[in-house]
Structure formats: structure tokens, C-alpha cells
Amino acid sequence: IGVPLRTDHPVVVTVVNHAVNLAPGTMVVDIDDDPTVVYVHVLHLEDPADVHAEVRQLETLTLAAFGLEPIREVA
């Protein structure tokens, strides 16, 4: 599942990547640049929208933790 991020800050992308990998049954398999998209493999996937929401929440929390602002809006 591809989840576009609202930032390309390397610290945020790294923290989101590691947090997703720590969750059981999930793994980041690829990250694209410009715009940044995190591709997540999920075992026992029920609803892709839940994965989008969870990764976006991780991104939002990471941005807030480092005092950063998103650089773009994504749908």
C-alpha cells in the first residue's frame, strides 16, 4: 500500500519507517522520493484506509515531536 507523506524531511521519514517496521505484521518495502511515498506490506490486510490513517498519524506525531511543519498537502 502506497502512503504519500506530507514531508520529505529525512528524520521524519526514518522515524515513520522504523515505527511501521516495529508493528507486528507490517514492513516498509520501498520509499519513493519527490513526492515521498512509503510503500507498506501488511499481513492480514482488512482495510487499506486504516493503513493510510495509521501511517499519517505516525507522520503527524513525528512532525509535532520535532517541531516541523508539513511541506505539502496530500489527498
Whole-angstrom distance, CA of residue 44 vs CA of residue 35: 28
**Mean pLDDT computed over 38-56:** 95
Confidence band for 73, pLDDT divided at 50, 70 and 90 = confident
Question: Is the pLDDT reported for residue 23 higher than 80?
Answer: yes
Q: Which amino acid is at 3?
A: V
C-beta atoms surrounding 26 within 10 Å: 19
pLDDT of 18: 97
Burial class (CB in 10 A: 0-12, 13-18, 19+), 75: exposed
pLDDT of 74: 82
Question: Is the pLDDT reported for residue 3 higher than 80?
Answer: yes
**Mean pLDDT computed over 45-74:** 94
